[in-house]
Amino acid sequence: MGRGRERLVGMASARAMYHQLADTYRAKIVTEELKPGDRLPTEQELGEEFNITRGTVRDGLKVLVNEGLIVPARPRGYFVRPHELSYVRPQAEWRKQPASPEMDRWMEDQTVLGRTPSQHISVEIIPPPAKVAERLGLNEGDLVVARRRIRYIDDEPFNLNDSFYSYDLIKGSEILNPTDIPRGTNQALADLGYEQVRAIDEVEARMPLPDEVNRLQLGPGNPVLVHRVTGFTIDDKPVRCTVNVLIGSKHVMLFERSKAVGGSVS
Amino acid sequence: MGRGRERLVGMASARAMYHQLADTYRAKIVTEELKPGDRLPTEQELGEEFNITRGTVRDGLKVLVNEGLIVPARPRGYFVRPHELSYVRPQAEWRKQPASPEMDRWMEDQTVLGRTPSQHISVEIIPPPAKVAERLGLNEGDLVVARRRIRYIDDEPFNLNDSFYSYDLIKGSEILNPTDIPRGTNQALADLGYEQVRAIDEVEARMPLPDEVNRLQLGPGNPVLVHRVTGFTIDDKPVRCTVNVLIGSKHVMLFERSKAVGGSVS
DNA sequence: GAGTGGTCTAGACCACGGG
DNA sequence: CCGTGGTCTAGACCACTCA
pLDDT of A75-85, one tens digit each? Answer: 899 999 998 87
Instruction: Tell me the count of A-B CB pairs closer than 8 A.
Output: 204
Give the pLDDT confidence score for residue A141 in this predicted structure: 93
User: Measured over all CA atoms, what is the biggest interatomic distance in chain A, rounded to whole angstroms?
Assistant: 78
Confidence at residue A153, expressed as pLDDT on a 0 to 100 scale: 80
Mean pLDDT within B236-255 = 92
A positions 55-94 inside 8 Å of B (CB): 55, 62, 66-69, 91-93
Residues of B within 8 A of A100 (CB-CB) are 137, 232, 236-238
From B233, which residue of chain A is nearest by alpha-carbon distance? A259
The pLDDT-based confidence of A118 (bands split at 50, 70, 90) is confident
CB atoms within 10 A of CB A252: 18
B108, pLDDT greater than 50: yes
For the segment A139-161, the average pLDDT, to the nearest whole number, is: 90
A206-229 confidence digits (pLDDT tens): 999 999 999 999 989 999 999 999
Q: Is residue A142 very low, low, confident or very high in pLDDT (cuts 50, 70, 90)?
A: very high
Across the interface, do A99 and B257 touch by the CB < 8 Å criterion?
A: no
B137 touches chain A (CB under 8 A): yes
CA distances from A251 to A83, A222, B90 (A): 12, 12, 22
Please give the Cα distance from B213 to A69 (Å, whole number).
Answer: 14
Bridge partners (DSSP) listed for residue B39: B79
So what's the pLDDT on residue B127?
97
Question: Which among B95, B134, B257 has CB closest to A262?
Answer: B95
Interchain pair B263, A206: CB under 8 A = no
- pLDDT above 90 coverage of chain B, percent: 61
Rounded to two decimals, the pTM is: 0.87
Confidence of residue A90 (pLDDT cuts 50, 70, 90): low
Q: Is the pLDDT of residue B222 over 60?
A: yes
**Structure-model confidence comparison of residues B111 and B250, the more confident one:** B250
Give the 3-state secondary structure of chain A.
Answer: CCCCCCCCCCCCCCCCHHHHHHHHHHHHHHCCCCCCCCECCCHHHHHHHHCCCHHHHHHHHHHHHHCCCEEEECCCEEEECCCCCCEEEECCCCCCCCCCHHHHHHHHHHCCCCCCEEEEEEEEEECCCHHHHHHHCCCCCCCEEEEEEEEEECCEEEEEEEEEEEHHHHCCCHHHCCCCCCCCHHHHHHHCCCCEEEEEEEEEEECCCHHHHHHHCCCCCCCEEEEEEEEEECCCCEEEEEEEEEEHHHEEEEEEEECCCCCCCC
Q: Report the share of chain A in percent with pLDDT over 70.
A: 82
**Count of residues in chain B:** 266
Task: Write out A61-99 in H/E/C secondary structure.
Answer: HHHHHHCCCEEEECCCEEEECCCCCCEEEECCCCCCCCC
H helices of chain B, in order, are 17-30, 43-50, 54-66, 105-112, 130-136, 167-170, 185-191, 210-216
pLDDT at B7 over 80: no
Tens digit of each residue's pLDDT (9 = 90 or more) over B13-69? 478 999 999 999 999 999 999 999 999 999 999 999 999 999 999 999 999 999 999
Give A 174-233 residues with CB within 8 A of chain B. 184, 186-187, 196-207, 209-210, 220-221, 223-225, 229
Q: Is the pLDDT of residue B9 over 50?
A: no
Q: Is the pLDDT of residue A11 over 50?
A: no
Which of B227, B188, B220 is CA-nearest to residue B204?
B227
Of the pLDDT bands very low, low, confident and very high (cuts 50, 70, 90), residue A109 is very low
Q: How far is the CA of B73 from the C1' of C15 (A)?
A: 13
Beta strands in chain B (DSSP E): 70-73, 77-80, 87-90, 117-126, 144-153, 156-166, 196-206, 224-233, 238-247, 251-258
Contacts of B15 (CB under 8 A, 6+ apart): B5, B23
Residues in chain A: 266
d(CA B24, CA B8): 17
Residue contact B225–A205, C-beta within 8 A: yes
Lowest mean pLDDT segment, chosen from A117-131, A245-259, B52-66, B229-243: A245-259
pLDDT band at A178 (very low <50, low <70, confident <90, very high): confident
CA-to-C1' distance for A77 and C11, Å?
Answer: 29
Chain B hits for A246, CB-CB cut-off 8 Å, are 205
- pLDDT band of residue A54 (cuts 50, 70, 90) is very high
Q: Is the peptide bond before B157 cis (omega within 30 degrees of 0)?
A: no
- Chain B hits for A259, CB-CB cut-off 8 Å, are 197-198
Q: Is A53 near strand D, with its CB below 7 A from some atom of it? A: yes
pLDDT tier at B184, thresholds 50, 70, 90? confident
pLDDT at A33: 95
Residue A150 CA: distances (Å) to CA of A213, B49, B162: 12, 37, 36
Question: Does position A185 have pLDDT exceeding 70, yes or no?
Answer: yes
What domains can be seen in chain B, in order of their start residue?
Answer: 17-80 (1.10.10.10), 87-254 (3.40.1410.10)
In this predicted structure, the answer to whether residue A203 has a pLDDT above a threshold of 50 is yes
**Closest partner residue to A229 among B203, B260, B265, by Cβ?**
B265
Which of B20, B197, B225 is best to mutate for the A interface (most A CBs within 10 A)? B225
| Protein-to-nucleotide distance from the CA of A74 to the C1' of C6, whole angstroms | 9
Q: What type of residue is A152?
A: Y
d(CA B231, CA B240): 5
**Dist CA A84 CA A194 (whole Å):** 39
Q: Which residue has the higher pLDDT, A86 or B162?
A: B162
